[in-house]
Amino acid sequence: MHSTIHRSLSIAALAAIIAPLAQAAELQRPLALDAAASYREAARYPEWSRPVREGMPDPIVAQRTPTRQVLRGRQHSERQLAVWASGIAFEAGQNVDLYASLEDAAPRSLREALTRGQALTITATLVDEAGRTLAELDYADDGRGADVLRGDGVYSVRYRLAPEHAPAPGHAKSIMVKLRALAADGESFAGSGGFQYSSPGARLTGVFDNALRDGSLVLRAQAEVLAAGRYHLAATLSDLAGRPIAEAQSAHDLKPGVQEIELTFYGLALHERGAAGPLRVGSITLTSALGVPNALGPVLSNVALIPARPLSAYTDRAFGRPDLLEAARRLEVDALQR
Amino acid sequence: MLHTCLGRATAAVALLLVSVSAQAAPCLIFVHGKQTDTGTYTNWSTARNYWKSGTRDFIKEATKNFASSYYVIGYNGSRPYWDAQAAGEVANEIVNATNGGADGGGNRCAQTYAQGGTFWVVAHSMGGTVMDFILGNNDSSDPNYNYNGPYSTVASRIGLAVTTGGAHRGSQGADAVCGDSNWACNWAGSWIQDCDDPTWWLRSADDVQVRTYSNAPAKNVYLTGGYEAIFGASACLSGEDDGVVQYASIFACSGSAGTSYDNSNVCGNSSKQEGSGFRNLDASHENHDDERNDADRDVRKAIPGGIWTCSGSPCAPGTTVQSSMSTGQFIGILY
């Protein structure tokens, strides 16, 4: 009897360890109502122009800031190979700076310091999606070329994009960087990163103009178009301190030649932030959307100054997107009927 | 006589309530993940079986024993997420569902969009990436507006999307396979066995990320995913993962797709790959397969910005909120 109780308690204790007891928890509210509330808020702005929440980074810059790809050497390895490029998209004749370093997978300062100093041999192959090899590269940590500081553990190589591999105007190629690294202690690593080989079919000329229309700010950008097709213009409006306030986008089918493209920042976003100006076009980029991958153009910064205007010049009216309001209504009806 | 009339009236009210309840439930539209062949595209039963494991059935649980109507999409999961047979096919099928059309198995949504129906998309793995592309290119001002299908109609008609194990930022597994480091990790049982076209486009490099080619989703994408390791593969991924996709991707985080996260610190709703439209739900002790086949009814945990409340306040990240609930069952309690 005693042993039976003892065994039962042991099993119960084991079960408790295996399946932790859940706290009394419930859903905040029906998911439908959560979505509906967010749609009613979002419906105040058009889909082509929205405010940037205070404290958030410039969305165009954030999306075009290259990120690091990391991969461990083998199962349970304490180290990982980190790889990154100096940008996301490059054009013919431009230098692509590629970087790699060996890092502690769970950073511990002393260990990291020790591993970073280990000598590495790093090589890479550049491959396009069709499997064609563009180049074989050797990385170095010698303080020359793309390498900023000798012996800092960051290995680098510079590659100039050859025009003979360039995509047709308006198009782009995805290029993979396949890396092999060998640490001094014999552990080997592999990884992959990448960048886009872009041939934009149109460029911003640097000529900008702005005007007020129906309580919103209209930005006009001049572009030189080489290849006919669809183009996407996106820009962020910032205050003079560089804080982003609103973003806007537009897309157009353009013919070759010098063209003017318009972009509208919905006035409500400026009105609500009290952004009478002066303001800046903090970032702007023109993308060739003739196919996927889109050919990304460069991001230009602080290209135009928008003069101060009375705040009342900007609309205080909610846009009232009918699609979102209808979606919210249906979700609310669903939730209330249940 | 009176008794009979009352009985009939009661029955009529009950029937009406059942009818209202069925109509109030959204129609669930299921979008599977990456494939190594065209099976789910050419044979609907293969797409349906994607959501099953033996007698367990994710769709049965999500629809509360089929009380809610549903539609199962089969697209070509061996093409990149943006391809006409991937995003294009999914968009066309969603519109068909909202028009009252049947899927390959004869299943239809109870109400069409014109009749006032609501529609939720449930997507697993690369299905999440496909939905990001569709919902981020629905407006004429978007870069790839209606690229190869009726994205704008999809965006206007669906109420929301839920992704489970969504590869929103790609997969480090794809990085490994395409970088020829699969010798170091065990991807043998996974759908990323070689660097085929969709795997190329599921790497975590910036130039293939869906966020590079789309805007914020037009309708909310709610995020859930697993943290049960798969032997071998998980040891090569950063932070928590479901054995194939790491948390930074499952929860659509901004910054590096290789950032190491766990249930206590995974990115909240203001640190997503887009400025709006992505929201956390919770995390489950499921692996990448469990997330879509109801095989494992296990612990669920609260995460930052998630949906669970404890004593009236948001549960602390990492809190066990359910001790035995699959993601299929979880979706069933969301409506």
DSSP state of B85: I
Nearby residues of A34 by Cβ (< 8 Å), 6 or more positions away: A28, B220, B279, B307
% of chain A surpassing 70 pLDDT = 88
In order, the DSSP letters of B242-295 are SSSSBHHHHTTBSS-TT----TTTS--TTSBSSSSSEEEEEEES--TTHHHH--
When pLDDT is cut at 50, 70 and 90, the band that residue B183 belongs to is low
Residue with tokens 């948390």: B247
Residue A197 has pLDDT above 60, yes or no: yes
When pLDDT is cut at 50, 70 and 90, the band that residue A11 belongs to is very low
| Tokens of residue A115, six digits | 């591993």
Interface with chain B: mutation pick from A18, A21, A69, A132, highest number of B CBs within 10 Å: A69
* CA atoms in the 13 A half-sphere facing the CB of A259: 21
- Least CB-CB distance to A287: which of B23, B143, B220? B143
pTM given for the model: 0.93
> Could you give the CA distance from residue A292 to residue A178 in angstroms, rounded to a whole number?
22
- Whether B82 sits inside 8 A of A59 (CB atoms) is no
User: Average of pLDDT values for A9-14?
Assistant: 46
Nearby residues of B67 by Cβ (< 8 Å), 6 or more positions away: B22, B25
Closest-CA residue of B relative to A72 is B236
- Least CB-CB distance to B179: which of A68, A179, A232? A179
A333 in reach of chain B (CB within 8 A): yes
Residue B9 has pLDDT above 50, yes or no: no
- Least CB-CB distance to B232: which of A67, A75, A191? A75
**Interface subset of B 75-134, CB within 8 angstroms of A:** 80, 82, 116, 118
Interface with chain B: mutation pick from A17, A21, A27, A84, highest number of B CBs within 10 Å: A27
> Could you give the CA distance from residue A286 to residue A294 in angstroms, rounded to a whole number?
10
B153 in reach of chain A (CB within 8 A): no
When pLDDT is cut at 50, 70 and 90, the band that residue B246 belongs to is very high
User: Average of pLDDT values for A40-58?
Assistant: 97
Tell me the average pLDDT of chain B: 91
% of chain B surpassing 70 pLDDT = 90
Strands B221-226 and B278-284 turn out to be parallel
Tell me the average pLDDT of chain A: 90
Strands A279-288 and A305-306 turn out to be antiparallel
When pLDDT is cut at 50, 70 and 90, the band that residue A106 belongs to is low
When pLDDT is cut at 50, 70 and 90, the band that residue A4 belongs to is very low
- Least CB-CB distance to B175: which of A53, A191, A195? A191
Lowest mean pLDDT of A303-307, B228-232, B291-295, name the range.
B228-232
- Whether B159 sits inside 8 A of A67 (CB atoms) is no
Q: How far is A109 from chain B (nearest CA, A)?
A: 17
DSSP state of B241: B
User: Average of pLDDT values for B217-230?
Assistant: 95
Chain A residues touching B178 at Cβ < 8 A: 176, 178, 192
Backbone angles phi, psi at B106, to 5 degrees: 85, 5
For A216, other C-beta atoms within 10 Å of its C-beta total 23
Q: What is the phi-psi region of residue B100: left when phi exceeds 0, alpha when psi lies from -120 to 50, beta otherwise?
A: left
Residue B104 has pLDDT above 90, yes or no: yes
- Whether A88 sits inside 8 A of B323 (CB atoms) is no
Lowest mean pLDDT of A86-95, A140-149, B292-301, name the range.
A140-149
Q: What angle do CA B10, B11, B17 make, to 5 degrees?
A: 90
- Whether A31 sits inside 8 A of B334 (CB atoms) is yes
Q: At residue A271, what is the residue type?
A: H
User: Average of pLDDT values for B193-197?
Assistant: 89
User: Average of pLDDT values for A207-234?
Assistant: 98
User: Average of pLDDT values for A217-238?
Assistant: 98
| Tokens of residue B198, six digits | 């969709």
pLDDT, position B193: 75
- Least CB-CB distance to B310: which of A25, A31, A249? A25
Chains A, B: CB contacts within 8 A come to 244
When pLDDT is cut at 50, 70 and 90, the band that residue A223 belongs to is very high
pLDDT, position A21: 67
Closest-CA residue of A relative to B255 is A67
Strands (E), chain B: 27-31, 52-53, 56-57, 70-73, 119-124, 160-164, 221-226, 278-284, 298-301, 308-310, 313-314, 320-325
Chain A residues touching B308 at Cβ < 8 A: 25-28
pLDDT, position B182: 61
Secondary structure of residue A286 in the 3-state scheme: strand
Lowest mean pLDDT of A18-22, B57-61, B305-309, name the range.
A18-22
Return the closest-CA partner of residue B330 out of B297, B304, B303, B305: B297
User: Average of pLDDT values for A54-61?
Assistant: 95
Contact in structure between B138 and B87 (CB atoms under 8 Å): no
Closest-CA residue of B relative to A179 is B179
- Least CB-CB distance to A69: which of B186, B204, B321? B204
User: Average of pLDDT values for B166-170?
Assistant: 98
- Whether A71 sits inside 8 A of B172 (CB atoms) is yes
Closest-CA residue of A relative to B218 is A47
Lowest mean pLDDT of A23-27, A269-273, B136-140, B182-186, name the range.
B182-186
| Tokens of residue A185, six digits | 């202690």
- Whether A251 sits inside 8 A of B145 (CB atoms) is yes
Chain A residues touching B155 at Cβ < 8 A: 323
Give the tens place of pLDDT for each residue, B65-91. 999 999 999 999 999 999 999 999 999
Lowest mean pLDDT of A6-20, A173-187, A272-286, B57-71, name the range.
A6-20
pLDDT, position A115: 53
A109 in reach of chain B (CB within 8 A): no
Q: How far is B268 from chain A (nearest CA, A)?
A: 13
When pLDDT is cut at 50, 70 and 90, the band that residue A7 belongs to is very low
| Tokens of residue B293, six digits | 């086949």
Residue with tokens 């494939």: B35
Contact in structure between B81 and B102 (CB atoms under 8 Å): no
User: Average of pLDDT values for B162-181?
Assistant: 92
A125 in reach of chain B (CB within 8 A): no
Chain B residues touching A76 at Cβ < 8 A: 235
When pLDDT is cut at 50, 70 and 90, the band that residue A80 belongs to is confident
**Interface subset of A 274-303, CB within 8 angstroms of B:** 287, 289, 292-294, 296
| Tokens of residue B305, six digits | 């910005």
pLDDT, position B300: 98
Lowest mean pLDDT of A59-63, A272-276, B173-177, B199-203, name the range.
B173-177
Q: How far is B100 from chain A (nearest CA, A)?
A: 17
pLDDT, position A118: 65
Q: How far is B175 from chain A (nearest CA, A)?
A: 6
B228 in reach of chain A (CB within 8 A): no
pLDDT, position B120: 98
Residue A107 has pLDDT above 60, yes or no: no
Residue B37 has pLDDT above 60, yes or no: yes
- Whether A42 sits inside 8 A of B258 (CB atoms) is no
Contact in structure between B300 and B31 (CB atoms under 8 Å): no
Return the closest-CA partner of residue B54 out of B289, B233, B284, B226: B289
User: Average of pLDDT values for A82-87?
Assistant: 96
